[in-house]
Amino acid sequence: MLHLSDALEEDNLLKVKTALKQGADLNGLIEISEDEYAPVLFFALRKRVSLEIIKFLVEQGADLHYCTDDGVSLLDEAVIFGKLDTIRYLVEECKMDITKTKRKSGLTPFMQACCYGDMEVLTYILSHGIDLDERDQNGMRAIDYAKKLGQKRVYDYLKSLDEHEEF
């Protein structure tokens, strides 16, 4: 029997389809390391599978709304791994709200993008009406994360958006 994890690691749509036909659990957990498991879509993002496979898994009923105990969502995972095509798909076709967070910490997808310094992801999220002054549970803004994590290009960009505000 073909394991869904193997098919995803190979980024092979035909093998993904075969694994599902053979009874693979679309909403089960896949081991990603010793004592660490992830839902199928999270695992797929970590393996950087094609958008075609992500779409197929969603069409087959993979759980789009799974969140970890800390509130990390599929959209957060896509931001972490810089999968702009997947982010666009989740926002534009699956109608996920990129401006909100379910994280207990209050860390938003925009703040997260600022942490990783991915300008394409950051500008895409920014185009959805982000509040630059939004703060997480620790009182930190996106620009604070950029500065703290040494993302100078992101910091300079955010600072340039409002030259009149003190950062």
Ranges of each domain in the chain? 1-63, 67-167
Q: How confident is the model at residue 167 (pLDDT cuts 50, 70, 90)?
A: very low
pLDDT digits (tens, 9 = 90+) for 18-64: 999 999 999 999 998 888 899 999 999 999 999 999 999 999 999 99
Q: Cα(113)–Cα(126) distance, rounded to whole angstroms? A: 10
Question: What is the model's pLDDT at position 166?
Answer: 46
Q: Is the pTM of this model over 0.85?
A: yes
What is the CATH code for 67-167?
Answer: 1.25.40.20
Does residue 159 come out as left (phi exceeding 0), alpha (psi in the -120 to 50 range) or beta? alpha
Q: Could you tell me which residues come within 8 angstroms of residue 40 by beta carbon, excluding any fewer than 6 positions away?
A: 4, 8, 25, 26, 27, 28, 30, 57, 62
Q: Cα(32)–Cα(10) distance, rounded to whole angstroms? A: 15
pLDDT digits (tens, 9 = 90+) for 55-92: 999 999 999 999 999 999 999 999 999 999 999 999 99
Q: How confident is the model at residue 153 (pLDDT cuts 50, 70, 90)?
A: very high
Of 41, 35, 54, 118, the C-alpha closest to 84 is: 118
What is the CATH code for 1-63?
Answer: 1.25.40.20
Q: Cα(144)–Cα(4) distance, rounded to whole angstroms? A: 40
Q: Which amino acid is at 28?
A: G
- Return the HEC string of 31-60: EEECCEEEEHHHHHHHCCCCHHHHHHHHHC
Question: What is the model's pLDDT at position 32?
Answer: 85
